[in-house]
A and B are shown apart, each in its own frame.
Chain A
Amino acid sequence: MPMAHTATPQERTGGLTATEHKLANGLRVVLSEDRLTPVAAVCLWYDVGSRHEVPGRTGLAHLFEHLMFQGSAQVKGNGHFELVQGAGGSLNGTTSFERTNYFETMPAHQVELALWLEADRMGTLLTALDEESMENQRDVVKNERRQRYDNVPYGTAFERLVAKIYPEGHPYHHTPIGSMADLDAASLEDAREFFRTYYAPGNAVLAVVGDIDSAQTLAWIEKYFGSIPPHDGKQPPRDGALDGIIGTELRETLHEDVPSRALMAAYRLPQDGTRAADAADLALTALGGGESSRLHNRLVRRDRTAVAASFGMMRLAGAPSLGWLDVKTSGEARIPEIEAAVEEELTRFAQEGPTPEEMERAQAQLEREWLDRLATVGGRADELCKYAVLFGDPQLALTAVRRILEITPEEVREVAAAWLRRDNRGVLVYEPTTAAAEADHDDSEGAQR
């Protein structure tokens, strides 16, 4: 077989191993054998997400992801779903800021089918893509937007905060779901051009994990993907790097038909792939990651001003990560007293850092979350793809926990002091209205954004 494979030595960490290979057309392949259960995951990451979208076409990456399930040269209509499910597999695709992923988890004896299906659409999608699918999936995605964001209390908070902390024109200023107006504006030609630009073998990483024979799997990958022509039309995404903290608090109060007052905030945090990002994850876990966190103890248990208080991290590799604070008030509690308490806790944490017990708890929680992701072949395949696509090295997945366990309390304190500041956040305050008329007004404003 004419291949250009460059296998790297196996690294063994906690039973997880991975080998890397590359086809002549540029497709990168990561394989990981695990024979304990007769299942295997096929996971394909394309290095394209909403950050690659151009003005006026927000939501296109995600809409396009839907079109990938509408058939290709040898797969009719919804055949991709039917064939995988008929083989006892499960499947989906998701779109985020930084990547689009497609995955099939299969009974081990059906892995070849999943590879054939992924290759068929990578190589021939445009022979099947038509106006009918485009119109249909545009409506489906608009209903997805309504169901997940527009018809849900506080449903647009995330996109509003993202728009605040990543400025106008920044590639992360908008979220993957996009706006209704842009979804309406997307044309079939836009979709074709998107495919030609981004759906190239050289812009993808394929991971196959589970009960597989690596040599056989590699031979199948070469057979099905090997003849897909390389192409190289991709432009790098606009630079997402931002210069440190925001420098000012960006604030908005919304009067909407929501069930309670809420304080939400988004902080810029260090980019993923750095020690500072791991330290930030630990800081947010200690502050708001569980039932023993500082904000939960303060607001929910002691002050009783909140029904729920959490602080979580969305890691981003191509822009500052995002820290997401979410407090829903209890009873008649008001936002200023909650804000003052949050500020007090963040300030104290920035001065004193985590206690040894808090460090131990935060590390134990993040370790368990990691083990949860590794509990399925699909989870492992996704992590290998992530590190290959975003950081150029799938082997980094194998040492991710170790890196978190190496962080010191002082690093956690430092990251909190440097980033968890009022002048480095966007704030959204919700004040409930009961009048439906006012809610209508707010909705229409939202739709015009």
Chain B
Amino acid sequence: MTDAISPTMDLHPRPAGGEPKPWAFPAPERSTLANGLTVLRSHRPGQQVIAVEVNLLAPLTAEPAGQEGIATIMARALSEGTDKLDAEEFAAELERCGATLDAYADHPGIRVSLEVPASRLVKALGLLADALRAPAFPEHEIDRLVHNRLDEIPHELANPARRAAMALSAALFPADHRMSRPRQGTAESVRRIDAKAVRAFYDAHVRPSSTTAVVVGDLTGVDLDAALADTLGVWQAEPAVPFTIPPVTADDTGRVVIVDRPGSVQTQLLLGRVGTDRHDRVWPAQQLGTYCLGGTLTSRLDRVLREEKGYTYGVRATAQVLYSAADGTGLSLLAIHGSVASDVTGPALADLWQVLRTLAEEGLTDEERDLAVQNLVGVAPLRYETAAAVANTLADQVEQELPDDFQAQLYQRLAETGTVEASAAAVNAFPANRLVTVLVGDREQIEGPVRELGIGEVTVLSDGDGDGDGAGETEGAAADEV
């Protein structure tokens, strides 16, 4: 086809690229304050917003029976006033520093994230230390946080992706295990939480000796040792009793759970099962295989479901560590997720299953494996441009009981992993007959076609059967991406 209007340009062959410049994932410097608090620091020149990532060893399984959600309420309550400032004053002082402070509770523990311009780091570290050392937990603020949390639950239930995640946890894990229930509690359990209970949870689990602070950014001209000694170093408390997460087995018998949402214009898909944590030798191969299956829009799933059929805006395959332990007893959630137009739910699932079967029969090609390695290894300097990204991974490593050089070594291991290993890992991670499929959508439109696929027993839940949970979610409307 020629275009009569525009004359043509000079075409040049595709450039080959120059010599890669050396880059390595930063090796943090590790130290311990006098009170036992562990510090990891990494100087990143040019990163003017400093990231401080704190791990508190207060796992969700430590929540008292019937008070699930208390770790979340406690995490939020840390910034609701201290021994020096009330809640409003504390929020105002933080923002005067141009800082943000977020806290959330997940299976392995609580994470508190501070981001602040370097010029105001010392002041903000003081506020952070006060929040950890001497939270006020005022009754009326805890009561407000409880009600706030109860208000959030219906919003989470209304979100198809979160609704699917809740249904999957409930299907995979035994009902008596913490893992099966919403991370941030149910309406019933959250209602039982009060200031006294929050104080008791804090006293039992939040101690400097089991806390790690990761500090990353341009530390030029910052006397970090002095700043830490005057802030987090002042915190005194007895060591905590170590806590271990009880083992759990997941039921990944292939089956389907439909959460009925009449009138939905799309069906939210979430197919999942559990795998091992990053201590497993197979992790790099599995990461490559998962990328080839559903890492990007040129991976196998989107090549068919999006770029050939137009059924979806995008379907991804992911492996997310739920918790991890040095002895290798940890778990990750292996999942395929996305949403498809309601009227093509059956055909989309049929194609998805065909992609999995083809993968199992034929494995990956060398070309796919090479592209995956080049991407996953090559993007490292981009992915870790900001202080926050580096701090987050360093804190993950601590939380997951991995060595400080895990990420640095991982790039080497990815590069050494061959096609055969990556294929085997992908097939083992996503076997077509061992996936629990959750569909949030219009039962009337989707149940028949889904039953015809024969991908397992089908259970239908009404939309009301659920209790709320949250992972981060953003809503953007002003710009639309590819």
Contact = CB atoms under 8 A, between A and B. Distances in A.
Interface in A78-107: 78, 81-83, 85-90, 92-97, 105-107
Contacts of A138: 310
B147 A304 contact: yes
Interface in A116-132: 116, 119-120, 123-124, 126-127, 130
A138 B311 CA distance: 11
B49 A436 contact: no
A372 interface: yes
A351 B335 CA distance: 54
Nearest to A77: B307
Given A147-B339, A229-B6, A85 B115 contact: no
A109 B20 contact: yes
A375 B148 contact: no
A371 B48 CA distance: 7
B386 A375 contact: yes
B452 interface: no
Contact of B92 (A62, A94, A361, A371): A361
A78 B307 contact: yes
A344 interface: no
A208 to B, nearest CB: 14
Contacts of B377: 88
A347 interface: no
Interface stretch (A238-246, A276-284, A289-297, A416-424): A289-297
Contacts of B339: 143, 146-147, 151
A119 B91 CA distance: 49
A361 B17 contact: no
A361 B95 contact: yes
B152 interface: yes
Given A136-B307, A153-B159, A229-B7, A371 B385 contact: no
Interface stretch (A5-13, A335-343, A362-370, A389-397): A362-370
Interface stretch (A65-73, A267-275, A406-414): A65-73
B375 interface: yes
B102 to A, nearest CB: 10
Nearest to B310: A139
A259 B468 CA distance: 12
B25 to A, nearest CB: 12
A201 to B, nearest CB: 10
Given A66-B482, A96-B479, A151-B265, A364 B97 contact: yes
Contacts of A177: 480
Interface residues of B, number: 94
A307 B152 contact: yes
Contacts of B155: 153, 259-260, 307, 328
A372 to B, nearest CB: 6
A126 B382 contact: no
A55 interface: no
Contacts of B99: 368
B402 interface: no
A292 B379 CA distance: 37
- Among A107, A119, A151, chain B packs the most CB atoms within 10 A around the CB of A151
Contacts of B87: 301
B244 interface: no
Interface stretch (A30-38, A163-171, A247-255): A30-38
B249 interface: no
A342 to B, nearest CB: 18
Contact of A109 (B17, B148, B307): B17
Nearest to A233: B5
A58 to B, nearest CB: 12
A137 B266 CA distance: 17
Contacts of B313: 140, 143-144, 146-148
Given A108-B21, A364-B95, A371-B48, A259 B154 contact: yes
Contacts of B307: 77-78, 136, 140
A291 B374 CA distance: 42
B378 A97 contact: no
Contacts of B361: none
A291 B382 contact: no
B263 A227 contact: no
A153 B155 CA distance: 8
A89 B264 contact: no
B371 interface: yes
Contacts of A364: 95-98, 120
Given A328-B155, A364-B96, A368-B116, A439 B147 contact: no
Given A38-B21, A365-B95, A372-B49, A88 B375 contact: yes
B475 A152 contact: yes
B18 interface: yes
B98 A367 contact: yes
A440 interface: yes
A96 B480 CA distance: 7
B367 to A, nearest CB: 9
Interface string B114-139: 01110010000000000000000000
A153 B9 contact: no
B1 A127 contact: yes
B385 A39 contact: yes
Given A177-B480, A436-B262, A357 B92 contact: yes
Nearest to A439: B263
B477 interface: yes
Interface string B1-31: 1110111111110110111111100000000
Contacts of A184: none
Contact of A146 (B47, B48, B266): B266
B382 A39 contact: yes
Closest 6 CB pairs of A and B: A88-B378, A139-B310, A364-B98, A259-B154, A307-B151, A368-B98
18 contacts: A62-B480, A78-B297, A83-B14, A94-B481, A112-B18, A113-B15, A143-B313, A176-B479, A229-B6, A229-B9, A258-B158, A260-B155, A328-B151, A330-B148, A361-B95, A364-B120, A365-B98, A436-B263
Given A90-B382, A136-B309, 4 more contacts: A82-B298, A90-B379, A112-B15, A368-B99
Interface of A: 15, 34, 36-39, 62, 65-66, 69, 73-74, 77-78, 81-83, 85-90, 92-97, 105-110, 112-113, 116, 119-120, 123-124, 126-127, 130, 135-140, 142-144, 146-153, 158-159, 175-177, 192, 196, 211, 220, 223-224, 227-229, 231, 257-260, 290-292, 297, 300-301, 304, 307, 314, 328, 330-331, 357, 360-361, 364-365, 367-368, 371-372, 374-377, 436, 439-440, 443
Interface of B: 1-3, 5-12, 14-15, 17-23, 45-49, 79, 87-88, 91-92, 94-100, 115-117, 120, 144, 147-148, 150-152, 154-155, 157-160, 262-266, 296-298, 303, 306-313, 339-341, 370-371, 374-375, 377-382, 385-387, 475-482
